[in-house]
Amino acid sequence: MEKKTVLVTGIGGNVGQGILRNIRAMGLGIRLIGTNTKDFSPGNHLCDFVYPVPFSSHSRYLPTLKKIIEREKVDLVIPSTDLEVFYLAGNKHKLKAKVLASDVQTARIYLDKYLTYQYLSAHDIPFVTTWLPKKFNRSPGRFIAKPRKGWGSRGILRGKITPSALPAGYIIQPWLRGTEITTAVYVNQQGQLHGLITMERSLSHGTTTECRVVFDYDAALERIAQKMIRLGGLVGSFNIQSMVTRTKKVVPFEINCRFSGTNSIRHHFGFQDVKYALQEHLLNQKPDPPKIVAGAATRILMDVIYPDPEKYRKDHQPRPILH
């Protein structure tokens, strides 16, 4: 097989690092290029070469990525952050590599929690009630305020919310009580549901630290996922974050239009969405069927040691694109 090259963005985060580990586990000798806003991170050792890039909102981001793709002869780009998914979705036609991202309009909606609420509610798909601060007129109670766009569960405020005191760009949602679950869904190239997996989870600073596979909510989540897929625009893997209330009602509160941070965990439980994506979008193969098994996972702090970091940079980072 001709050696393929895949570029994974955001390798400083757990999403990008999980994608890299899953690709390595396939054992296909795929050449891995990593990008990140910092030139050195724990994800560097998983790549053959690493390039620092500006933030996706910077005017130099796209030209920089274009040059990397052309220099490294990249076949497939996998963005691992919400903003990069959105930005690259709108610029697929400018790149000489396939980009694994949903349609730009779909990515724009799911990047924004308020637009997500409006969109799903208009199509009779469950999603937690979401207010803009200027439209919030509820009696004092227990609510959550969070950034309207992305940011991986960071910046959340809980309790009695004063709308006028919130930072710009925040939304308000009810403070749901119950069991938090995360559901990964894969949409194949025919626009059909290929499979899903749901895990109960515990978080620390927005990152899953413990989780276990559950099957109790599959029917409810499959109905929700099917409705979302029928609206069109979703490509590859996406993630539904939900709360299961005391009455066992599943209430989604966030949609991530990308691989989620548990991709490296669920791979071991028979839902291998990174593998499915490479089979379809890189190797032109039919994706393997999911074979979900029960199990639990916990994460520990590990060390990545670079004995000679300057030599590592020299060996793994080609001459900079930006001068």
Q: What is the pLDDT of residues 188-219, one digit of tens each?
A: 999 999 999 999 988 766 678 899 999 999 99
Note the pTM of the prediction, 2 decimals. 0.92
Distance CA 29, CA 32 (A): 9
Q: What is the pLDDT of residues 170-181, one digit of tens each?
A: 999 999 989 999
Domain 5-101+303-316 in CATH 3.40.50.12780: no
Amino acid 30: pLDDT: 97
pLDDT of residue 235: 97
Q: How many CA atoms lie within 13 A of 142 on its CB side?
A: 3
Residue 254, pLDDT > 90, answer yes
pLDDT score at 197: 98
Strand order in the sheet with 179-187: 250-256, 236-244, 179-187, 193-204, 207-214, 296-298
Distance CA 218, CA 214 (A): 8
Does 106-113+176-298 carry CATH code 3.30.470.20?
Answer: yes
Contacts 24+ apart (CB under 8 A), 88-97: 88/56, 91/62, 94/62, 94/66, 95/65, 95/66, 95/69, 96/66, 96/69, 96/70, 97/7, 97/69
**Does the pLDDT of residue 153 top 90, yes or no?**
no
User: pLDDT band for position 159 (50/70/90)?
Assistant: confident
User: If pLDDT is split at 50, 70 and 90, which confidence band does 158 have?
Assistant: confident
Whole-number pLDDT of residue 323: 32
Q: Which two tokens stand for residue 82?
A: 């919400």
Are 85 and 107 in contact by the 8 Å Cβ rule? The answer is yes
Where are the domains positioned within the chain?
A: 5-101+303-316, 106-113+176-298, 129-174
Using 50, 70 and 90 to split pLDDT, how confident is the model at 59? very high
pLDDT at 302 over 60: yes
pLDDT at position 193: 98
Region label for 115, one of left (φ > 0), alpha (ψ between -120 and 50) or beta (otherwise): alpha
- Tell me what the mean pLDDT of segment 297-322 comes to: 75
Least confident of 8-17, 103-112, 200-209, 242-251: 200-209
Let me know: does 290 contact 187? Beta carbons within 8 Å: no
CA–CA separation, 44 vs 17, rounded Å?
Answer: 9
